[in-house]
Amino acid sequence: MPPRLHADALLIGGGVASARCARTLRRRRFQGSILLVGDETALPYNRPPLSKELLRGEVDAALIVAEPDGWYERHDVEVWTDAAVAELDVGARLARLEDGRAISFDRCLIATGAEPRVPDVVGAEHAHTPTVVLGGGFIGVEVAASLATIGSSVTVLERSGRLWAGALGETISSWASQHLADLGIDVRFGATATRLDAESAWVGDESVPAAGIVAGIGVRPREALATAAGLEVADGILVDEGRSAAPRIFAAGDVARVPHPLAEGERIRVEHWHAAREGGEAAALGMLGLDPGPPRAPWVYTEFAGLLVDVVGWAPDFDEERVFGDPALDRFAVAYVRGGRVAQLATVNGWVPVEQARAFVESRPTAASLESLAAV
């Protein structure tokens, strides 16, 4: 049997949440041992460029790492790649890897992230080269635009009636749709692939030519480890304001569901890069017995066809949208109002600076406060 190892801080998950947690622990003068365990073969890396700059060949893969070369060694952070945790015993503070190694710990972060949803379509397991994109969300739009930019013929199949349907409203969706059309992308709304083969994606009886498929239909939290460990799970690991799921057990990133003031204290799960970084930092503070404070307004950005969209806030539903600026000039903002207050703000090409937008939304402004944006 392999010897049992010990880590004062065990970070499970090889993404930016774990990397940020490690950095914050060391920045806060934590002197204990830190072990970061991830099941991928690479060191933690930033995922946003995968569907944009990296896909277009504009950046080398070596440049998207979460921490610079040598950082982990210099800060005495041990990293195990290609190492999957199979079992977590919360009471015994013990993690077991698939290869049989056991790690005891004093405190633990679960940052296992999320995994892509695979379409329930015959042939989905054989699709590799993307020319048909399933889904018109952030990833789907980014991938489609990147492929079109480098010369591919792209068709987007979106089952709803607009792009970004789960996140944004009609104004910005129509604007984005026009830009995809300008790139020569065929966007089909109300369309769902029913079958995939080596040459086509089938929408009912219609064959859409495809050298391959990329699915951008969302993700699901990787919560199996937490569930088996007896932690409270409901579409993510439920944590408190200190990012704790149980004594000395913390969670951050795509897998964590955190109480949020913009959701009236309800727990929400934010599947974006900034939330993972900030959540990893908050979890580190919780590990050190410090109050991380409430999470900031969620912030996600998307870039396609040379256009930048920043979305700040939380509005899974809204009563109305108000537009500032001119969409025809590709520089404008859209405010989403719910219950008389601004719940979310989308700003295109910096019409409202991101930090200003975050502070504005975090102040829980009334709809009347939007007049201040008109002067920007």
- Give me the CATH number covering residue 332: 3.30.390.30
304 and 370 in a common domain: yes
Last residue of a domain, one of 215, 236, 251: 215
Residues 363, 296: Cα–Cα separation, whole Å:
11
Of 156, 185, 215, which residue is a domain's last? 215
Could you give the CA distance from residue 334 to residue 332 in angstroms, rounded to a whole number? 7
In a domain, 292, yes or no: no
Residues 135 and 227 in one domain: no
Residue position matching structure tokens 């079109």: 148
Do 111 and 9 lie in one domain? The reply is: yes
Q: Are residues 106 and 241 in the same domain?
A: yes
- Say if 335 falls within a structural domain: yes
How many structural domains are present in the chain?
3
In 10 A of CB 323, how many CB atoms? 15
Domain assignment present for 293: no
Indicate the residue among 199, 215, 231 that finishes a domain.
Answer: 215
CATH classification at residue 196? 3.50.50.60
| pLDDT the model gives residue 130 | 47
Statement to judge: residues 109 and 223 lie in one domain: yes
Q: Which residues of the chain have pLDDT under 70?
A: 1-4, 118-130, 373-376
Range of the domain at 236: 4-115+219-287
Residue 321 belongs to a domain:
yes
Q: What is the 3-state secondary structure (H, E, C) of the chain?
A: CCCEEEEEEEEECCCHHHHHHHHHHHHCCCCCCEEEECCCCCCCECCHHHHCCCCCCCCCHHHHECCCCCHHHHCCEEEECCCCEEEEECCCCEEEECCCCEEEEEEEEECCCEEECCCCCECHHHCCCCCEEECCCHHHHHHHHHHHHCCCCCEEEECCCCCCCCCCCHHHHHHHHHHHHHCCCEEEECCCCCEECCCEEEECCEEEECCCEEECCCEEECCHHHHHCCCCECCCEECCCCCEEECCEEECHHHEEEECHHHCCCEECCCCHHHHHHHHHHHHHHHCCCCCCCCCCCEEEEEECCEEEEEEECCCCCCEEEEEEEHHHCEEEEEEEECCEEEEEEEECCCCCHHHHHHHHHCCCEHHHHHHHHCC
User: How many other CB atoms are found less than 10 A from the CB of residue 274?
Assistant: 19
What would the two tokens of residue 239 be? 């944590």
Q: Is residue 294 part of a domain?
A: no
Check whether residue 229 and residue 110 sit in a common domain.
yes
CA distance 211 to 201: 9
